[in-house]
Structure 1
């Protein structure tokens, strides 16, 4: 993750900030609540008066948004609505359900009342100057409401990266094209784009090129201003797998090529001009998706200051034997295992079987050092949608 860094910071309107990521800590501009606030519709009175008086004289009413009144007379009370400021001198609100009003006098039920009951105390949610949101918080519905309450019409957020995708392969055709038996349609660019959309990131451009070196090089050179460049296909050991060589020719410095996982072993990663990060993924659909979840998403989250996606430890509902000496990722769906949630393996026909993975809830991890997983063994599980 040494190459992870923010893509810049910008100030945007709060109304346009949903799902964006804060680039600043947020502090309370005043106490919250800013006054002692009634939590119920009822009557405000002095706690010390409740044991001495059987009836209380009603001397006023407090509505939400009204100026704060004062409760001066012993044995008096003020009718109060939820959200209204509690009158000065009052330290108890009794629910309207526990009262009886007749001829301007209020009787209360004989219940064990306590001081400050049904009152939200000034500053109990947050004190003025207290940090209420940390940098790298994702702005959702609740945080948006909090920011509005703090008067933050504008917020500083991390800029979104410019991302482009190049799909390579003589056999690859555009989605809208007719295909011959030996051809397939470009699916990986749509999968990758959907993953990025989880983070509110739109794809700047998509290119579809053949396995010709010149065509690949031209596509790469045309995208020098990108923050992230994703290539799909052409990174394995085939005669037409030119992508690593062409990337080097284009000035992209390789950080690594090939990883000890399956599927996804041929993954290539590099950096150009200390600006553009390049991920070259295997062309097989399952390998492509595994590569995104295991490498690209953690990188992206690190750039935004977000923690890694959480994995969940869950039991397998059936035996699984290793097919290699590498760490393996296999699709599973969530289901019941006895009285608890477990992972059901989904039968698949290899890294090109994109139909099986669509039925899965995420990826389970078969550790490299474990030859066989038994029924009931707990394994790490990565949901498709990070948590």
Structure 2
């Protein structure tokens, strides 16, 4: 007797699958482990504005030479930017994530500045143009495809979708997998076993595998070795809308 090799059997099984399950739209909080039904494009640019990568002072790079003294004219913080421009000989105290003021094109980190009294600092080390500035769109830009169809959504993917401005996503419905154990010799865990009976354990292991793989398991219990009981259990799977029926015994 020849046995069907596992790869051949698996291919035959997968070839019989009619296609993906229908799409449904869910809130992000309910999308973990789901499979994307369509590409996800950015609805916004991230970051939406040029911002500082360090705490320090925003100024013109031409002014950031050792020994140069600059007047501190204000402050730019995350969520509260400096409203005016920065001119020659001026600087703005800035914090990580804060918007770059107009006119500034470099960040002098705070370790490279020293106070000289009043609202004045002295540059101790030079800074080049663009130094420690994160430009707008560094992470992604509006319209950019960030996640592709078929991607299983993990924590990183969901965080990216949220940052891109998506409150919901189109995902595939979880396949409903019915599991049916058959045999007069089987009893459920916790039930007394007769002299010719064993505990039905494989159906519980299969149900866990289905859930781990992203499906929804439907336990049909145990069908006894007679046609009416087996037919009734299979009909229950059909009425429940099962996409797959796994029988074991």
Under a length normalisation based on structure 1, what TM-score does the superposition of the two structures give?
Answer: 0.56
Paired residue total: 232
Q: 2:220, 2:233 within 8 Å by CA — same for their partners in 1?
A: no
Residue in structure 1 matched with residue 151 of structure 2 by the alignment: 137
Aligned pair 1:176/2:157, yes or no? no
Residue in structure 2 matched with residue 230 of structure 1 by the alignment: 246
Residue 139 of structure 1 deviates from its aligned partner by 2.1
Residue 68 of structure 1 deviates from its aligned partner by 5.5
Where 1:222 maps in the other structure, the secondary structure is: helix
Residue in structure 2 matched with residue 215 of structure 1 by the alignment: 229
Unpaired stretches in structure 1, ≥5 consecutive residues: 234-387
Where 1:22 maps in the other structure, the secondary structure is: coil
- 2: CA distance, partners of 1:202 / 1:183: 29
Q: 2:207 aligns with which of 193, 201, 216?
A: 193
Aligned pair 1:79/2:79, yes or no? no
Residue in structure 2 matched with residue 44 of structure 1 by the alignment: 58
- 1: CA distance, partners of 2:148 / 2:232: 43
Residue in structure 2 matched with residue 324 of structure 1 by the alignment: none
Q: CA RMSD of the aligned region, Å?
A: 1.9
Equivalence map 1:89-168=2 (5 Å)? 89-101=103-115, 102-111=117-126, 113-168=127-182
Residue 105 of structure 1 deviates from its aligned partner by 1.0
Q: 1:30 to 1:222 in 2, by over 3 A?
A: closer
- 2: CA distance, partners of 1:68 / 1:132: 32
- 2: CA distance, partners of 1:26 / 1:194: 30
Q: Deviations over 1:58-112 (max 9, x none)?
A: 011001112453433102111111111111221211222222233211123325x
Residue 221 of structure 1 deviates from its aligned partner by 2.7
Equivalence map 1:323-342=2 (5 Å)? none
Q: 1:62, 1:84 within 8 Å by CA — same for their partners in 2?
A: yes
Q: 1:32 aligns with which of 43, 46, 53?
A: 46
Q: 2:45, 2:164 within 8 Å by CA — same for their partners in 1?
A: no
Residue 52 of structure 1 deviates from its aligned partner by 7.7
- 1: CA distance, partners of 2:104 / 2:84: 8
Higher relative contact order (CA 8 A, sep 6+): 2
Unpaired stretches in structure 2, ≥5 consecutive residues: 1-13
Under a length normalisation based on structure 2, what TM-score does the superposition of the two structures give?
Answer: 0.85
Aligned pair 1:2/2:18, yes or no? no
- 2: CA distance, partners of 1:97 / 1:185: 70
Where 1:21 maps in the other structure, the secondary structure is: coil
Residue 143 of structure 1 deviates from its aligned partner by 2.1
